[in-house]
Amino acid sequence: MMQQIIEEAESVLLHTYNRYQVVFDHGDGVKLYDIDGKEYLDFVSGIGVFALGYGNKAYNDALKNQIDKITHTSNYYYNVPAIEAAKAVKKASGMDRIFFTNSGAEAVEGALKAARKYAYLKDGRTDHEIIAMNHSFHGRTFGALSVTGTPKYREAFEPMIGNIRFADYNDLDSVKALITDKTCAVIMETIQGEGGIYPADEAFIKGVRALCDEHDILLILDEIQCGMGRSGYLFAWQEYGVKPDIMTTAKALGCGVPVGAFLMTEKVGQASLKAGDHGTTYGGNPLAGAAICEVFRQYEEKNLTEHVKEVGTYLYEKLEEVKASCPMIKDHRGKGLMQGLEFDREVAPVINKALENGVVLINAGTKIIRFLPPLVIEKEDVDAMIAVLKEAIKEL
C-alpha cells in the first residue's frame, strides 16, 4: 500500500524533493506512525515545527474551537486571536511591532522590505546594500533566496535582487570589510540551521551589533529555525544579551499551522512600512492567531525553555560520547535541541538505516546529521535514539 501511494505522489507532485520512502499518517507525543502502522521516534519535528509533539489535545481543541467560529476575516478588519497572538510574541521577544505572514520566507521578505524602507526614509537613496552570510538559509522566494548564502540554490534563478554582499559567519572582519555608506542591514541566523548548525560566537554577534549601532545599520536576526525555545531560550539571541532591530520567526510559532512573522522595535516600526507598503491575504488570520496563543500558553505551562536546556544538555553529552567513539565524526555543534554531528563522509546511509529502525533523523548538507526533536522530548527518548544511531553508524 505504501509503495502505491508513493508512486501516485511521484506522478502528481512536482519533483522538488528527494523524499524518504515513508508516508506518515498520524502522531502521538514524540512518535510518528506510517500508514502501515509502523512506529517511529521523531527527531526532526517536521524541520523544527512540531515543538509540542503530536496529538496534543489542548492544541487540537484550540484549533477546533476557532474553526467552528471563523478561520479567516481579512487584514482590513481586526480579530481577537491575532491581537492576543501579537501580545504573546511581543511579551516573549521584547520586540514592539509585529506583522504576521504565512511562512518563514515571507517573514524574511517583509524584514528586507522594512529595512530598505527605513533606510530610504532616512536618506532618500534607492541603492542600499544588505550584508548576508555565507552558508545562510533564509528561504526560497526571490528576496529570501537573494540573501541565502548557498550559490547552488541561487544560480539557475539569477538575477537575484541586487546589492547583496556576503560575509563569512563568525568572522567580524569580513562583515566590517563590506560596510559602506549604502549598507542598510545585516541579516543572519542566530544559529545557522540548514547551513550546518553553526551557533554565532558571542564576540561575533556582539561585534555585529556594535558595528550596526555605529553605522545606523539595522540588524535582522532570522530566528525561524533556532527561535521558539529550540536553543533553550525563547529566542536564541536572548542568550547573548544582544537585541535585533528586526527579527523573523516561523516554524514552531504555529506548531503545524502555517504561520510566520517579522517583528521590529518601535523605532523601526515608526519609520519604515506604512499603510499600503505591505500586505497579505491570510497572514494573521484567526486560525493562525489561535494556534500561536495556544502554543505560547503551553510553552509557559510546561516551562518548556527550562526543559529544553535540561534535555538539550543531556543530548549534548550523549552525542559527545558517540563522537568520542567514532573517528568518522569530525565535529559536534549546537545549542539546546538544535544540534548537529558532522561526519567526514555522506550521512545518507545512517539516516536511511535509522528510519528503517524506527528513528526519524535529517541531514543539514550531505555530511551533517541534524537533531531537531520535538521540544517535549524526554531523556529516555534521547537514549532510544542514541541506541539506533550507534547501530546505524555501522552502515558507513
Ligand X SMILES: *Cc1c(COP(=O)(O)O)cnc(C)c1O
Residues that bind ligand X (CB under 6 A): 103-105, 108, 137-139, 189, 193-194, 222, 224-225, 250
Closest CB 286 distance from ligand X, rounded Å: 20
- Among residues 47, 28, 98, 22, which one has the least CA distance to residue 266? 98
Residue (197 or 393) nearer to ligand X, CB = 197
Q: In angstroms, rounded to a whole number, what is the distance separating the alpha carbons of residues 9 and 224?
A: 28
Closest CB 226 distance from ligand X, rounded Å: 7
Closest CB 216 distance from ligand X, rounded Å: 25
Residue (47 or 271) nearer to ligand X, CB = 47
Closest CB 223 distance from ligand X, rounded Å: 8
Residue (307 or 370) nearer to ligand X, CB = 370
Neighbouring CB atoms inside 10 A of 6's CB total 15
Q: In angstroms, rounded to a whole number, what is the distance separating the alpha carbons of residues 16 and 172?
A: 35
Residue (193 or 286) nearer to ligand X, CB = 193
Residue (108 or 360) nearer to ligand X, CB = 108
Residue (31 or 170) nearer to ligand X, CB = 170
Q: Which residue is nearest to ligand X (CB)?
A: 104
Closest CB 170 distance from ligand X, rounded Å: 16
Closest CB 224 distance from ligand X, rounded Å: 4
